[in-house]
Structure 1
Amino acid sequence: MKKKVTPQVIPIILPTPYQVGDVVIYLIVDEQVVLIDTGPPTEEALAALRRQLQDQGLQLSDLDAVLVTHHHPDHLGLAPVIAQETGLKIGLHPLELYSQHQETGEPYHIFPDWGLPPGFAQKMEKQFRAMTRMKEPLDPSMVASLTDRQVIDTGTYQIAVRHFPGHTMGHVLFYEPAEKWLISGDFLLEKFMPNPMSFQMGDQRIATLPLYFESLRCLSKMDITTVFPGHGRAFPYSRTFIGNILEHYRKRSIEILQILQIIDKGTTFEVAQRLYPRGFEREAFLVLSKVLGCLDLLERQGIVVKDHDWAYHIDPEADAVFMADFLPMIP
């Protein structure tokens, strides 16, 4: 039986090769020792993880569980190594396992909704591969499925798994209701604007930004005091963060409407180039995902219409006053 310890959440900061910079994963030290997220698939990150575990008098073999918020490689990348070394199964939502294998298996399907010009799709696929590359995909046999409202008992903490799709389809958060802290992955960040990523399931594209807004509504009803994000330091929670996210996407959507008023109609690609003229090609996947998400919102509100050639135009019957304040806010 393990000795009684003072339960705590310990941030572990790991370097990544990605533009976002360092990732923060979390060590839950309680009667059970749990790692939440693993870091990117690099030797540098693995060495940094081992060093910071040693600082706590621990090593990978002392872990009782490994849980992951979502499948992006800065959060999931070391999972195969940890699973092989410890014999533990990796706690992950089933949709994230699906997403990981979709992105690392067959050539990634570039969404026709983007309206990419000839030749650009190949460039996009190369960029996307660089973003999502895993040295070793996580085998399904290494995974224990996480479900919404499942409770992880670490001794003192009773950590609830909350499935909040948006940034990715199977993104989960870890919430401790007594202590009122939340480990948010990339769903809620203090210094970065979360970006719902385009997602394809078979032949169907899922509108992820509207899903993200629904998840934000659920989040707004939770009693939270502290957020432990996947990037940056822990910060005190305020519903102001939700309002700021909604306002950000409202402004982007209005800017998109202004662009469509000028060019009459345009594809996601054409609108994105005008909305983000600087650095568009460097972050094309993220930019296109954001613009397509805003167009999904506008289309659902009946403000824009998509043609058969994947071009969007403003519905001439849309109320111009309503257009300026279309975004449903959280009460």
Structure 2
Amino acid sequence: MDRIPLSNSAFEGDNNAYLFADGDETVLIDTGDWMATTREQLEAAFADRGLEFADVDRIFLTHWHHDHVGLAGEIQAESGAEVYVHERDAPLVAGEADAWEEMFDQQEAYFEQWGMPEAGRETLRDLMAGPEVSTENPTVTPIEDGETFSVNGHELRVVHTSGHAAGLCLFETELDGRREAFTGDALLPVYTPNVGGADVRVENPLPKYLRALQGIVDADYDRAWPGHRDPIDEPADRAAYIIDHHEERSYRVLDALDRLGPCDTWTVSADLFGDLEDIHILHGPGESYAHLEHLERAGTVVREGDEYRLAEGVAEELAAIDDERWPLQY
């Protein structure tokens, strides 16, 4: 297996495509985005190995985000490769207009509910329209949790890890006698994947993501191959760190409501993250909403219209625990 880094101007760092070409098949996990520079880089990496896109037999996609699926359609057009993606993300990857319209409508509803200023909404609409590029949507084969595939003697097992995206999956396997996983954006080495804004289709995104992280802790993989940046040598430790990070963030949300009084999601986001630009205008309130929604279900926060306040007695409990972490149940 070869890791192929591909440039990405986004904050997460370089994307990764993973190439299996050590047997009868040529198989990719993720393809990078659809920009010309990415295609050039991936074609050059193939050429270095005596391959071209026409040689690809199968493509496995971790989730629908454009920086992971962008070249899948073009590669399929040249090779006839079968493209696999989780059933929840399949309609978006296939370019089904109804699925995209439904998601954009859900985003607009959240913009209103969160209290997002119109200037922020306009910025996001422009970003989501995307650059003028030539790309093809692939024909996809839906997959689901627990399915297994044989790739050049390696077994890939699909593990659904919803939260960051509705259909996000990792693919676990054994390489050189080690249990390893291709984690997409479920586990990243530097940033904590956004929850709530990155895919507004996900219901109850925070508890779903926490359960996915706990699954990675329990699996205790020897190594993780993430969707961005370098391999992670202690995946369980990294997943446990992100669980702790979200526990601390929930405490900060409660602290914000304690200081600010009843307020909307946008106000909480501004308190947590400050002024936001570009895609973070979506990610900041999205993650704030994921925590507020979770805390509401836990009974520590009460929603009234589009505003949130602390439930009775919570302010006193916060004062009593001082700087200790607030316990987060999931």
Q: TM-score range by the shorter chain?
A: 0.7 to 0.9
Aligned residue number for residue 15 of structure 1: 7
The 1:269/1:26 distance shift into structure 2, 3 A limit, reads same
Deviation at 1:123, TM superposition (A): 3.2
Instruction: Check the 8 A contact 1:273/1:280 in 2, yes or no.
Output: no
Q: What residue identity is the alignment partner of 2:19?
A: L
Query: Over the residues paired in the alignment, what is the CA RMSD in angstroms?
Result: 2.5
Distance 1:85 1:37 in 2: 16
Instruction: Answer whether contact 1:71 1:99 (CA < 8 A) is retained.
Output: yes
Q: CA deviation at 1:97?
A: 2.4
For 1:262 and 1:59, the matched residues in 2 are separated by 58
Q: What is the match of residue 327 of structure 2?
A: 326
> Quick one: distance in 2 between partners of 1:137 and 1:113?
34
Aligned to 2:152: 155
Q: 1:14-73: CA deviations, max 9, x gaps?
A: 112434332111001232221000110111111110100111121112222111001111
Alignment counterpart, residue 41 of structure 2, candidates 40, 48, 52: 48
Q: CA offsets per residue over residues 189-243 of structure 1, 9 Å max, x none? A: 1111121243444xxx612111101112222221410111111111212422122
What is the deviation of 1:179?
Answer: 3.0
Q: 1:289 is matched with which residue?
A: 286
Between the aligned partners of 2:133 and 2:113, the Cα distance in structure 1 is 26
| Contact 2:220-2:235 at 8 Å conserved across structures | no
Greater helix percent: which structure?
2
Structure 2 CA distance, aligned partners of 1:249 and 1:19?
Answer: 20
Distance 2:56 2:187 in 1: 26
Aligned residues, how many? 314
TM-score by length of 1: 0.86
Displacement, 1:282?
Answer: 6.0
Q: 1:211 aligns with which of 178, 192, 208?
A: 208
- Structure 2 Cα separation of the partners of residues 273 and 256 of structure 1: 11
Amino acid at match of 2:18: Y
Secondary structure of 1:182's counterpart equals: strand
How far apart in 2 are the matches of 1:70 and 1:212?
A: 14
Distance 2:325 2:151 in 1: 48
Instruction: Show structure 2 runs of 5+ residues with no match.
Output: none
1:26 and 2:27 aligned = no
239, 243, 258: which one aligns with 1:261: 258
| SS of 2:104 mapped into structure 1 | coil
Question: Is structure 2 residue 121 aligned with structure 1 residue 121?
Answer: yes
Query: Is this contact kept in 1: 2:20–2:152, CA < 8 A?
Result: no
CA contact (8 A) 1:73 1:134 kept: no
Deviations 1:85-125 (A, max 9, x none): 11122111121123454675468122143122455433333
User: TM-score if structure 2 supplies the norm length?
Assistant: 0.86
Q: 1:125 to 1:191 in 2, by over 3 A?
A: same
Between the aligned partners of 1:81 and 1:238, the Cα distance in structure 2 is 33
Specify the code of the residue in structure 1 equivalent to 2:208: L
Assess, with a 3 A threshold, how the Cα gap between structure 1 residues 128 and 270 changes in structure 2: closer, same or farther. Answer: farther
The runs of 5 or more residues in structure 1 that have no matched partner are: 1-8
Q: Which moved more, 1:55-64 or 1:110-119?
A: 110-119
Alignment of 1:31-180 (within 5 A): 31=23, 32-100=25-93, 101=96, 104-105=100-101, 108-109=104-105, 110=108, 111=110, 112-118=112-118, 120-130=120-130, 135-136=134-135, 138-139=137-138, 142-177=139-174, 179-180=178-179
Query: Deviation of residue 300 (structure 1)?
Result: 2.1
Judge conservation of contact 1:77–1:134 (CA < 8 Å) in 2: no
Q: How far apart in 2 are the matches of 1:306 and 1:229?
A: 36
